[in-house]
Structure 1
Amino acid sequence: MINGLSISVPVELIMPQIQAAIQASIDECMKNQPQPDPQYTAEQVAHLLNVDVQTVHDYTRLEAGHPRRLPYVVTHDSFKGKRFLLSDITAWQRRNQIDALQQVIPLVPKRPARRRATRKAA
């Protein structure tokens, strides 16, 4: 009531606008929140990278400063114990793709095979 004036509006008319404004506010807040980083098992990472599972485990055993070392998260809720974050996998791919592109492998022609002296049949 403002200066003796009151306005009555049915709730059914304004409720959709209120709900839309609330939903827009929620969407804006959720957009600014950090998104979860999915975790993968060694088998899933091997499938993503198109390598053998043992190769993935070998990448995790490399020393800390090695460019091919694949970081992982230790989990205790699984008997396998290692999970790989998607952000770490994509960073590993970018790092090793650039490394592979910068590395120049010289093409050295192979020496012709030496032929063994054949024995003459007696």
Structure 2
Amino acid sequence: MLLHRRLGDPRIRATSRTGDIVLLGLRWLQFALGLATIPLSTQHLDGGMMMVRQGLLPGTVVLQSPALTDAEQSVIEAMVEAEVPTRQPTEEEACRYYEGHGERFVGDAQACCATSCSP
């Protein structure tokens, strides 16, 4: 619209500089190219094709795990199956936490903690 007005209105055309018209022409071209690429972009919504075309990713990605010996595999399985022990707080620690953060407890939790932590 601005380009049309600058080129079509003789009064505005007379006060426009060449750089203004060139800049508006480039903006219009950029806008037109952006609109023209929308159908191509909708075919690849995840952006993967753009990354491949820019050379940031290879055309095909193959993920392969390294070959493991039986001993290494058994160590990994043992680590996955192992239970991580968690320390349970003592009654005194639980009461101290409740006294410092009583506003965070609501409903049944508040009633339970209030009765067990009362002197």
TM-score category, normalised to shorter length: under 0.3
Larger Rg: 2
Q: Give the strand-richer structure, 1 or 2.
A: 1
Q: Give the helix-richer structure, 1 or 2.
A: 2
